[in-house]
Homo-oligomer: A and B are copies of this chain.
Amino acid sequence: METDKRIVNAMAELLRVQGYAATGIQQLARAAKAPTGSIYHHFRGGKREVAAAALRQTGAVYIQVLPMLLDEHADLATGVEAAFAAAAEDIENTGWANMCPVGTVTGEIADTEPELREVAAEVLTSWVEEGTRYLAGRGLSGTDARALTYALISALEGAFILARGQRSTEPLLAAGRAMAAYTATLPAGASPSSGEKVGPSGADFGEGVGGF
Q: A residues within 8 Å of B by Cβ? A: 17-22, 96-97, 99, 102-104, 106-112, 117, 120-121, 124-125, 146-151, 153-162, 164-167, 170-172, 174-175, 177-179, 181-182, 184-186, 201-202, 205-206, 208
Binding site secondary structure of chain A: helix
Asked, given contacts A22-B108, A166-B125, whether A155 binds B175 with beta carbons under 8 Å apart, the answer is yes
The interface centre, meaning the residue of A20, A106, A154, A208 with most chain B CB atoms within 10 A of its CB, is: A154
Complex Cα distance A19/B124, Å?
20
Cβ of B205 and Cβ of A165 under 8 Å apart? no
A161 CA to B160 CA, complexed, in Å: 12
Q: Which residues of the other chain, B, contact A146 by a CB distance below 8 angstroms?
A: 174
Interchain CA distance A157-B156 in the complex, whole Å:
10
- A162-B167 in contact (CB<8A): no
What residues of chain B lie closer than 8 Å to A178, measured between beta carbons? 147-148, 151, 155, 178-179, 182
CA distance A164 to B117 in the complex (A): 9
10 contacts between A and B (CB under 8 A): A18-B108, A18-B111, A97-B110, A103-B161, A104-B107, A124-B162, A154-B159, A154-B162, A154-B172, A157-B162
Measured between beta carbons, the chain B residues less than 8 angstroms from A162 are 106, 124, 150, 153-154, 157
Residue of B nearest to A107 (CB): B104
Chain B residues contacting A153 (CB-CB under 8 Å) are: 158, 162, 171
Give chain B residues whose Cβ lies under 8 Å from the Cβ of A102: 165
Of the residues B110, B117, B161, contact of A106 by C-beta under 8 Å = B161
Contacts of A181 in B (CB 8 A): 181-182, 185
> In this complex, what residue of B is CB-closest to A199?
B206
In the complex, the chain B residue whose C-beta lies closest to that of A172 is B154
Residues of B within 8 A of A108 (CB): 18-19, 21-22, 104, 107-108
Q: How many whole Å from A63's CB to the nearest CB in chain B? A: 15
